[in-house]
Chains A and B, each alone.
Chain A
């Protein structure tokens, strides 16, 4: 199974700050056939189901604000949230869909400082 390791596990931020969440996979998620990385990011707020933010490691889902930026390739990926808003306080998960069993990171909890 592909293991997804996220860091940090929690992050305390002030509104307006830029934050970076890291995700590392135990094997490459870059498929040579199309040069795409099979990595998605989700946001989960308390009491809600996960919401897709980013797929193909860097493509924003429709309706997602452009302050959410996904980057990285191979085994190392980053979700950057620029100018954090209060509504961004949530847990963020990375997920690989390169191969089954699909696997998720343990999550990064974004909290207010």
Chain B
């Protein structure tokens, strides 16, 4: 069955870089879009970006140039990296699977990982 699981560092210091891995099973990364969504006390649920089935990416401009999403299809893993962390980046980070952004498909988030809590603090 479809499974997604995020693993992250837990605690990150301000100004440092966050790295989270989403390991998936039950489907191929080359057939679906993979999304990153975070949930923070200050802003609630925020879409961060996605990596398309073909490997290209799109990001929320809110995160400007801080964010990078990549993948390793051989390992069934998707990666999130975000630099210059601030205390307001504290929250739960989720990966989610969707069908694709073409208007005919509909890009709702059908499957979510359990999330990984990230605390930004010195």
A interface list, Cβ under 8 A from B: 31, 33-34, 36, 38, 40, 42, 48-52, 55-56, 61, 93, 95, 97, 100-104, 106-107
Q: Is B109 an interface residue (CB 8 A)?
A: yes
Contact A101 B109 (CB under 8 A): no
Q: List 17 A-B contacts (CB under 8 A).
A: A31-B103, A33-B103, A33-B104, A34-B104, A36-B106, A49-B115, A50-B45, A52-B110, A55-B106, A97-B107, A101-B60, A101-B62, A102-B47, A104-B44, A104-B45, A106-B44, A107-B44
Instruction: Assess whether B106 is in contact with A49, with CB atoms less than 8 Å apart.
Output: no
Interface residue ranges, B against A (CB under 8 Å): 35, 44-47, 58, 60-62, 94, 98, 101, 103-104, 106-115
User: In the docked arrangement, what's the CA distance between A1 and B107, Å?
Assistant: 16
Closest to B111 in A: A52
With beta carbons under 8 angstroms apart, the residue of B35, B47, B62, B109 that contacts A52 is: B109
A68 to B106, CA, bound (A): 20
Query: Which chain A residues lie closer than 8 Å to B112 at the CB level?
Result: 49-51
Closest to B112 in A: A49
